[in-house]
């Protein structure tokens, strides 16, 4: 997985909005890796769902269904 395509700054802003005062670079990198892994797993499930429905296009309802099912 290439992590260079997902910068740390957006995660820093999200962490700050969540109330974090300070966070180490290592912690941000770990958070980035976990976020990307989770997103990749969701994407695989969403693609599988759309293919099962006989579609090539991912719809909003596919994303919502998978996210709700993963909660």
One digit per residue, the tens of pLDDT, for the chain of length 71 reads 555 688 999 999 999 999 999 999 999 999 999 999 999 999 999 999 999 999 999 999 999 999 999 88
CA dist 6 and 4 (Å) reads 5
CATH of domain 8-70: 1.10.20.10
User: Quick check: 11 and 31 in contact, CB under 8 A?
Assistant: yes
Q: How confident is the model at residue 71, as a pLDDT? A: 86
Q: How confident is the model at residue 2, as a pLDDT? A: 56
Q: Return the domain boundaries, the chain.
A: 8-70
Q: How confident is the model at residue 25, as a pLDDT? A: 94
Q: How confident is the model at residue 37, as a pLDDT? A: 94
């Amino acid at each position: 997985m290439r992590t260079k395509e997902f910068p740390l700054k957006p995660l820093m802003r999200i962490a700050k909005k969540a109330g974090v005062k300070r966070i180490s670079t290592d912690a941000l990198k770990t958070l980035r890796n976990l976020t990307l892994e989770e997103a990749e797993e969701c994407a695989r499930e969403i693609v599988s769902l759309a293919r099962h429905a006989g579609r090539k296009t991912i719809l909003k309802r596919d994303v919502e269904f998978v996210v709700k099912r993963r909660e």
